[in-house]
């Protein structure tokens, strides 16, 4: 068993963009999520080819009202210490007329907030400055190509690449921390080294590589193969040692196994591994450390795992996260099926529950993206 300070290790956080407090080893992800994603609206001016939300130009008529949104914020605050970090997403959260009011309400409840706006001409320097003034801790911006023709092809709107470059520069001028999110699919994988080189010239806090889950519009794109994934993960780990910013993966929890193996092979001690950026968020997975609330109030284990366990209009988010059958199953990796349930890394990695659901219709099934074969008789790490 590999442990650090008595806590089993082996991974990298899934989708964290906060620049704020990090989880301690005492954080019980079966009781309190580390991150709550709130899809504030489906409204968005872009037409991204991999959009999970299947966003449209206008809000859904049944999206949460202002009063219901405040109810959601109070439910999040009821988790207590440690409070989850809230990421406002969409669609484009800046399309909500009450956005700043809701940011202020969240912060008054002690909830730290980050945001992932769509990059359009409306995301001006002044709007970014206003977001910072209202206490937004960090910004998530997508970049899916190293040049306009590649990025715009994914985002579906000409001009989006130039707007993205401008938004990155403006965030840098304001001192607003930025996580850049990049899609990993057959359509983008060969361009990732060039994207990395471009980001080295920009004020970036973190680069998150999102491994495609075939949900929403993403069903039209092609995922990379498991063998390509292993090779890419080894490259990612090598880049983490020289990059001027943090690098992490999203919906690729098997990176935790790769990273841990590489660190142990390099002879790093337990204390050195604990200090490594990849240590943050070990053990987090869809539904365990992560909760997602849709624009209509449905409570999901993750945005890419659209299986509702409840709705904030009739249920309480704390009760659903801690006690619903779906979330309790996801809190317990010994319930996972197939090789994920037998794997010695199941507590540290657990596989992508979203990908298991997308492929097999079963959130407890094995992650088809991971080629690793568990060692017979090996104790869980």
pLDDT tens-digit readout, 326-376: 999 999 999 999 999 999 999 889 999 999 999 999 999 999 999 999 987
Whether residue 233 lies inside any domain: the answer is yes
Contact (Cβ atoms closer than 8 angstroms) between residue 363 and residue 307: yes
**Cβ neighbours for 292, distance < 8 A, ≥ 6 positions apart:** 36, 37, 38, 39, 299, 300, 301, 302, 303, 305
Q: Rounded to an integer, what distance in angstroms lies between the CA atom of residue 124 and that of residue 130?
A: 10
Whether residue 122 lies inside any domain: the answer is yes
pLDDT tens-digit readout, 283-309: 899 999 999 999 999 999 999 999 999
Whether residue 317 lies inside any domain: the answer is yes
Whether residue 348 lies inside any domain: the answer is no
- Over residues 242-264, the mean pLDDT reads 93
pLDDT at 9 over 60: no
Rounded percentage of the chain residues whose pLDDT exceeds 70: 89
Q: 0.85 cut: is pTM over it?
A: yes
Which pLDDT does position 273 carry in this prediction? Answer: 79
Whether residue 119 lies inside any domain: the answer is yes
Closest CA to 355 of 321, 307, 320, 318: 307
Q: What is the largest CA-CA distance in the chain?
A: 59
Strands 113-115 and 298-300: unpaired
Measured in degrees and rounded to the nearest 5, phi and psi for residue 362 equal -135, 110
Locate tokens 């207590």: which residue?
80
Q: How confident is the model at residue 250 (pLDDT cuts 50, 70, 90)?
A: very high
Coil, helix or strand at residue 79: coil
Whether residue 148 lies inside any domain: the answer is yes
Residue 102: domain span: 23-322
Q: Which of 18-22, 76-80, 238-242, 246-250 has the highest mean pLDDT?
A: 76-80
Which pLDDT does position 49 carry in this prediction? Answer: 64
CATH of the domain at 172: 3.20.20.70
Whether residue 310 lies inside any domain: the answer is yes
Q: Rounded to an integer, what distance in angstroms lies between the CA atom of residue 112 and that of residue 35?
A: 10
Helix (H), strand (E) counts: the chain: 13, 12
Coil, helix or strand at residue 250: strand
Measured in degrees and rounded to the nearest 5, phi and psi for residue 305 equal -125, 80
Q: Rounded to an integer, what distance in angstroms lies between the CA atom of residue 329 and that of residue 313?
A: 23
Beta strands in 30-89 (DSSP E): 35-39, 85-89
pLDDT tens-digit readout, 107-143: 999 999 999 999 999 999 999 999 999 999 999 999 9
Residue predicted with more confidence, 4 or 272: 272
Whether residue 347 lies inside any domain: the answer is no
pLDDT at 193 over 80: yes
Write down the mean pLDDT value for the chain. 89
pLDDT at 216 over 90: no
Q: Where are the alpha helices (DSSP H) in the chain?
A: 66-77, 99-108, 125-133, 148-155, 160-174, 192-199, 226-240, 255-265, 270-275, 317-323, 325-331, 338-342, 353-360
Q: Rounded to an integer, what distance in angstroms lies between the CA atom of residue 64 and that of residue 311?
A: 11
Residue 63 has a CB neighbour count (10 Å cut-off) of 19
Tell me how many domains the chain contains.
1
């Amino acid at each position: 068993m590999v442990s650090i300070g008595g806590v089993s290790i082996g991974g990298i956080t899934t989708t964290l963009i906060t620049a704020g407090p990090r989880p301690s080893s005492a954080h019980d992800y079966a009781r309190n999520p580390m991150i709550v994603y709130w899809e504030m609206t489906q409204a968005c001016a872009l037409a991204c080819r991999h959009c999970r939300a299947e966003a449209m130009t206008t809000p859904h008529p049944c999206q949460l009202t202002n009063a219901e949104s405040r109810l959601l914020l109070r439910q999040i605050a009821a988790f207590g210490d440690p409070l989850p970090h809230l990421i406002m997403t969409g669609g484009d959260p800046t399309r909500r007329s009450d956005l700043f009011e809701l940011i202020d309400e969240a912060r008054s409840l002690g909830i730290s907030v980050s945001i992932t706006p769509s990059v359009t001409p409306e995301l001006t320097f002044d709007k970014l400055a206003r977001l910072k003034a209202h206490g937004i801790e960090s910004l998530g911006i997508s970049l899916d190509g190293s040049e306009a023709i590649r990025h715009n092809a994914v985002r579906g709107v000409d001009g989006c690449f130039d707007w993205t470059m401008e938004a990155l520069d403006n965030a840098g001028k304001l001192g607003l921390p930025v996580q850049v999110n990049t899609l990993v699919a057959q359509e983008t994988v060969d361009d990732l080294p060039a994207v990395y080189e471009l980001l080295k010239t920009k004020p970036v806090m973190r680069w998150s590589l999102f491994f495609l889950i075939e949900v929403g519009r993403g069903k039209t794109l092609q995922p990379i193969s498991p063998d390509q994934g292993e090779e890419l993960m080894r490259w990612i780990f090598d880049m983490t040692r020289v990059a001027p910013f943090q690098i992490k993966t999203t919906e690729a929890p098997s990176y935790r196994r790769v990273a841990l193996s590489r660190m142990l092979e390099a002879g790093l001690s337990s204390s050195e591994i604990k200090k490594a950026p990849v240590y943050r968020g070990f053990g987090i997975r869809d539904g365990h450390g992560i909760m997602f609330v849709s624009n209509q109030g449905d409570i999901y284990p993750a945005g890419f795992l659209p299986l509702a366990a409840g709705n904030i209009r009739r249920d309480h988010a704390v009760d659903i996260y801690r006690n619903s059958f779906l979330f309790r199953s996801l809190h317990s990796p010994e319930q996972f099926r197939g090789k994920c349930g037998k794997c010695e890394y199941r507590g540290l990695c657990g596989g992508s529950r979203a990908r298991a659901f997308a492929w097999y219709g079963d959130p407890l099934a094995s992650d088809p993206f991971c080629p690793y074969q568990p060692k017979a008789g090996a104790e869980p790490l």
